[in-house]
Structures are given as structure tokens and as C-alpha cells.
Amino acid sequence: MIFDKNLHEECGVFGVYANHNASDLVYYGLHSLQHRGQEACGIVSNDGENFYIQKGLGLVTEVFNEQNVAKLKGLNAIGHVRYSTAGGGGLENVQPMYFRHHTGNFALAHNGNIVNSNELKKYLEDSGSIFQSTSDSEILAHLIKKEKRDSNRVLAIANALNMLEGAFAFLILTNDKLYCCRDKYGLRPLSIAKLNGGYVVSSETCAFEVVGATYIRDIEPGEIVIIDKDGLHSYFFSQYQRHKMCAMEYIYFARPDSDIEGCNVHTFRKESGKLLYKQHPIKADIVIGVPDSSLSAAIGFAEASGIPYEMGLVKNKYIGRTFIQPSQELRERGVKMKLSAVTSILKGKKVVLIDDSIVRGTTSKRIVKMLKEAGALEVHVYIASPPITSPCFYGVDISTYDELISAHKTIDEVKEIIGADSLVFLDENKLYEAGKRSELCTACFCGKYPTALYQSYKDANKDGKF
């Protein structure tokens, strides 16, 4: 997927414990997680006594430089990349967030979305809390400090986490510990690795490779891993545990070189391409994929079908972020700046176009048009996931039914709208097969949510259509 499909992962987190140049390592870690959020980023470090903070709006390379990273002292640090949806994009919402408290200061970074945030915020405000930001991530900090049942910090964190409903991977950095927490449904990934006698934690394992860390294991759903001078300690805050990993992490968000819960993302996508061919066999001249996230599925499809895999679309890697373009004509030109159709490969060919997903349909329509203008005789659009028919409430910015073409149109109608000669989707049960998994979150495909939804469902239905 190359165009702005209005489908974004909200965040990525990265932490380092007991390593020299901890902030440098977090910088490189965040760089590897940049695909999970491009709007803002931050690093908070700790030298055992003091916290050092640097945050800003923009890419990792725009916010950080040698000088400001050098000021982030200490052996421990956490970082965050953000795509702003929940709470908005202001500087006050940029993470990690830092909190001062007489029982101990701490910093916090969060990936995911809390679905009962309105209820918790009201409860906290009614009992005296004043929020600095509109991000729901701040809620955990207030809950931890409100927790008077136990002076033991891990129990205070555990009790606070048990009040949250939704998807989360939290990193909490104190003067002497790093707490790594994952929601009991297992919706968002979080893994841990070893580096130079210390530890590294990341939303995705691809970042371990870059800093030279050795993967140890994934943090389990409902688990808090506490890292301190004595090593790793495990604590489960919930007896209820599921492995409802977000299927979209495999399909689209995560980097192909990441492993999520024992399954490599490229391997998953390649397998989904093979299964797509088995489900919908076709005779064609070439198979092409939409760069970059659909290329693995296209390779799998080509392998299973024997149809040659070709580079029919080429991505301009140096385009960076696009500007908001005022007119249709300029928007079209913007699209062509990002992606080119290769006329000499496409001309006169019956083409199978593999894409990972369809959200609004505008992207697919533009690509089909581009391929036909380049001379393709037929364009058959093969989607390596099921139609997205329901919003996501767990940190992916598809929050209303209104914006989802497949929530309103039949597959035939979508085919007509995007101008394809045929359109097919992968069955939901094939996602489990591709990942060799018995559990996944597939709520945006089937509408069966693994958690209670609270106010989110009402917000998604505010147009009154559903």
C-alpha cells in the first residue's frame, strides 16, 4: 500500500534498560518503527535520579539530532512514535508523557486505544484529577497514582491496568525500573530482547536487528514484565488471557522483517497470497503487487499460480510526506509522484493486481485507472484480506462505518466503483491458516469485537445509519 489509505497504526514504543547510550539506541529503535506513526515522536531517559525529555511534531529524523539526543542522559530510556487519532495531534499529546509525584516520578509510553476512556476520565475528574492532555494514555498515570490499595508499585500498576478496557502496550520508566505491560486480549504486540547485559523492548522485532539486540520472547497478554538491576521479573495482572492479535498487524501495519508471536510478517503475507490463489484461481499474464505491504502476498500468489511476478508498479522512495493538495488535478499529480505504472511491462497484459486491503476504495480506483492508462488490457483486483466492514476501536484510525466502502456496498458495486474487471477478497478463515493461529482479532472484517466497547460504538454510529 502506498497511497494514504486512511488506515494508520496509531503508535510504536521502544525502551532500553541498562545500556550505555540508551537514548541513541532508542533513536535507532524509533527509526525502525517510523512506519507505525509519522506525526510526532519523543524520548525520555533516566540516569537513576533525573529524567530528560525531548519531544516534537514530525519524523524521528526531524525531531532529533546529535545535540539533543546527547542531552538525554542515563542508561535507561523509552521512546514513542505517534500517529495522532485519539486525543488529537497537539504537542501536549506527544509521548512519552512525564509525571511528577511525591511517591516517585515516572514516564509512560502507550500503543493502542482505551475504549472506556470517557468513563474513566469522568471518574477521575470527579475525584479530583486534572488532565494535561486529551490523550487517553494519561489515564493510566492517574489511575496508578490514585491506587491506594497497595503501596507496592507493581500492584498499583496491576490494579490500574485492570480498570482499562481495550488495546495497549505500555512502557513505564521510573528511576530504577522499566515496566512493560500488554493488554489481556493480546491485541497489540510487544517483545523483549537482550543487549550487552541489559534489555530492549519494542512494538516490533524488526527494531532489535538494528540495535544488535537478541530476541528473548514476547510479553504475554495480561503480563507485566518488570526490568530492574536483578533482571526480568514476570507478573500477571489478569487471569483472563487471549491471543487476539490484530490481524491488520500481519496484513498491513508491521514491517515484513518483524516476527509477531512466532510468525514472520512476510511469511504470513506470502501465505495469504498463496491461499488467495487457491480460493480464487485465475489465468493471467502477470501478477503485480502494490508496494510495499502487498509485495509479499503478490510473490506468494505468483508462486502458487505459476503466473510471472512482475514489477508493474514502482514506488518513489524519496517522496516523504505529502502536502494537502487543494485540487483534484494536483492530488492526481501527487499520486503519480508516489507511484509509477511501468508501461513496457503492463502494455497489452491481463494483470492480477494484489493489494492488502480496501478502505475507502479511492486508492484502488486510482491504481486501476493508472494501470489501464499504461496499457493493461484487464485489471483483476485480488485483495489479500476480507472486506473491511466495521470500524476499529483499538488504535487504528478507521473509527466510523461511514468511511468504509465495504460497509455500504456489495463486492460487485465496489468492483464497478474502482473500475476493475474482477474483484475478490480472501476469506476470513484463511487469515488463521496463513498465520497458523487459532486466535486473531478480525473485528473490522466480521464485527465481532473481543472487548466491551463502551462509548466507542455510539461514536462510530453517530451518523445514525447503523
Q: How far apart are CA 54 and CA 45, in angstroms?
A: 9
Task: Give the nearer residue to ligand SF4 in terms of CB position, either 405 or 443.
Answer: 443
Q: Does 443 bind ligand SF4 (CB under 6 A)?
A: yes
Phi/psi of residue 221, nearest 5 degrees? -55, 135
Q: Does 460 bind ligand SF4 (CB under 6 A)?
A: no
Residue 11 falls in the annotated catalytic set: yes
Could you say which residues in the range 100-139 bind ligand SF4, by CB under 6 A?
none
- One residue of 396, 420, 423, 460 binding ligand SF4 per CB under 6 A: 396
Cβ contacts of residue 231 below 8 Å, gap of 6+? none
Contact segment (CB under 6 A) with ligand SF4 among 34-42, 154-162, 337-345, 388-396 equals: 388-396
Position 355, amino acid: D
Q: How far apart are CA 16 and CA 30, in angstroms?
A: 11
Contact segment (CB under 6 A) with ligand SF4 among 14-22, 103-111, 264-272, 441-449 equals: 441-449
Residue 150 burial (C-beta neighbours within 10 Å; 0-12, 13-18, 19+): exposed
For the bound state, the minimum distance from the C-beta of residue 466 to ligand SF4, rounded and expressed in Å, comes to: 16
CA end-to-end span of the chain, whole Å? Answer: 29
Q: Which of 11, 206, 441, 444 is catalytic?
A: 11
Q: How far apart are CA 248 and CA 385, in angstroms?
A: 9
Q: Does 441 bind ligand SF4 (CB under 6 A)?
A: yes
Please state whether the peptide bond connecting residue 291 to the residue before it is cis, i.e. omega within 30 degrees of 0.
no
Could you say which residues in the range 183-242 bind ligand SF4, by CB under 6 A?
187
For the bound state, the minimum distance from the C-beta of residue 396 to ligand SF4, rounded and expressed in Å, comes to: 4
CB-facing half-sphere around the CA of 440: CA atoms within 13 A? 26
Q: Does 442 bind ligand SF4 (CB under 6 A)?
A: yes
Position 307, amino acid: I
- One residue of 392, 414, 418, 420 binding ligand SF4 per CB under 6 A: 392
Single out the residue of 107, 89, 104 nearest to residue 16, CA to CA.
Answer: 107
- One residue of 247, 287, 302, 341 binding ligand SF4 per CB under 6 A: 247
Task: Give the nearer residue to ligand SF4 in terms of CB position, either 202 or 442.
Answer: 442
Q: Does 444 bind ligand SF4 (CB under 6 A)?
A: yes
Q: Does 169 bind ligand SF4 (CB under 6 A)?
A: no
For the bound state, the minimum distance from the C-beta of residue 10 to ligand SF4, rounded and expressed in Å, comes to: 10
Contact segment (CB under 6 A) with ligand SF4 among 29-37, 53-61, 225-233, 392-400 equals: 392-400
Position 279, amino acid: Q
3-state helix, strand, coil in the chain (%, to 5): 35, 25, 40
Task: Give the nearer residue to ligand SF4 in terms of CB position, either 301 or 394.
Answer: 394
Q: CB of 368 within 8 A of CB of 421?
A: no
For the bound state, the minimum distance from the C-beta of residue 187 to ligand SF4, rounded and expressed in Å, comes to: 5
Contact segment (CB under 6 A) with ligand SF4 among 136-144, 270-278, 362-370, 390-398 equals: 390-398
Contact segment (CB under 6 A) with ligand SF4 among 84-92, 175-183, 243-251, 370-378 equals: 243-251
Q: How far apart are CA 213 and CA 194, in angstroms?
A: 5
Single out the residue of 224, 293, 261 nearest to residue 432, CA to CA.
Answer: 261
Q: Which residues bind ligand SF4 (CB under 6 A)?
A: 187, 246-248, 392, 394, 396, 441-444
What residues are annotated to the active site? 11
